Amino acid sequence: MGSQRKMYWELDFYSRPILDENQKKVWEMLVCESPVDIGTQTDSLFRYAKYCPSTQVNSGWLRTAIQEAIEEAGASPTKIRFFRRQMNNMITKSCEDVGVPAVPSRRTLVLNQWIQQRMKEVYPQEPGYQGVANPSVRLDKPLPQRLPDALEGKQWAFVTLEASDLAQMPDWEIGFGEAFPLELAELRPETRIPGILIFSPRALPIAGWMSGLEMAYLHFDTKQGNRLILETGATESWVVANIRTPELLAEAQGFTVAKEQANGVHFIGVQSDPQSQDFAGFWLLQEINLP
């Protein structure tokens, strides 16, 4: 996969449940490396943390902290992902100032786990710990969009693989895609991982377009009809398919159950036809609850 040659970072810059001597919230920047393939060793991923006084919460401080992280890592990332939309302007400017594009994304799996771990193990040990986290501001999401006509798949199907099958991903022929080690989701080798495959003669253009979307997760939506929705970026979503038959409805419900049993892990693949052994695109996904 092309993404294996690149380095992506995940970043959070937000207040923590800690008060300083002036009873003001302490802020913190967290930066960690995104895994991009199934074989990534999670303990080898770069991480950097730095507290920020409430009086210095600005793009200048953040730019300097990001630059320090780059110097410690010894290399600059290709892009930096962030999930807190209310911090969009400050994070985007700080990243641009160090020459790295910032992209809103919910594909921040390692960062999310790291924040949870620090909430339980690190912040309670700090002087001034308050015990109440400051949740993100919930902003409205736009309605799901239709896929561009030229990119709609001709066929698609629900499928499942065992977690152990995915260990073979490095041997698969994949044009575009991204994955992560299944240990992040604490899955057993025999766990069934649900997903969908999209088949189209235009498989490569479809996969190429999807590769620019910051793939987050798939879910079966019943709020406005029965639809399979692909969530991307920080807020975007796309209608992958309308579920119109009882058979597909049963499969969609089965997909939802299997995804829950797999701790939110699932996948989406793009192939030229059902007989193809290659993937124009393949993304391993996980639906997570971001703070």
Cα 272 to Cα 6, 62, 197, 269, distances in angstroms? 26, 44, 10, 10
Q: Give the number of other Cβ atoms within 10 Å of residue 34's Cβ.
A: 26
User: What is the structure's pLDDT at 114?
Assistant: 96
Average pLDDT of span 240-266: 96
Q: Two tokens at 285?
A: 């996904």
User: What is the structure's pLDDT at 119?
Assistant: 94
Residue ranges per domain, the chain?
2-125, 145-286
d(CA 66, CA 124): 25
Cα 82 to Cα 33, 111, 176, 197, distances in angstroms? 12, 9, 21, 28
Question: What are the b/e assignments for 158-178, b being 16+ CB within 10 Å?
Answer: bebbebeebeebeeeebbbbb
Does 148 or 197 have the greater pLDDT score? 197
Flag whether pLDDT at 140 surpasses 90. no
User: What is the structure's pLDDT at 3?
Assistant: 38
pLDDT in tens, 195-234: 999 999 999 999 999 999 999 999 999 988 899 999 999 9
Contact 176, 212 (CB under 8 A): no
pLDDT in tens, 105-132: 999 999 999 999 999 999 999 999 998 7
Average pLDDT of span 96-106: 97
CATH of domain 2-125: 3.30.420.10
| Reported confidence tier of residue 27, pLDDT bands at 50, 70, 90 | very high
pLDDT in tens, 44-95: 999 999 999 999 999 999 999 999 999 999 999 999 999 999 999 999 999 9
User: What is the structure's pLDDT at 224?
Assistant: 85
Asked whether the CA dihedral 229, 231, 232, 237 is positive or negative, the reply is positive
d(CA 153, CA 147): 9
Residue type, 23: Q
User: What is the structure's pLDDT at 150?
Assistant: 63
Cα 277 to Cα 33, 113, 205, 267, distances in angstroms? 31, 34, 18, 16
User: What is the structure's pLDDT at 141?
Assistant: 80
User: What is the structure's pLDDT at 274?
Assistant: 93
Average pLDDT of span 123-148: 82
pTM: 0.92
d(CA 19, CA 97): 29
Q: In what order do the strands lie in the sheet with 265-271?
A: 155-162, 192-199, 265-271, 279-286, 174-178
User: What is the structure's pLDDT at 148?
Assistant: 79
Asked whether the CA dihedral 69, 73, 74, 76 is positive or negative, the reply is negative
| Reported confidence tier of residue 6, pLDDT bands at 50, 70, 90 | confident
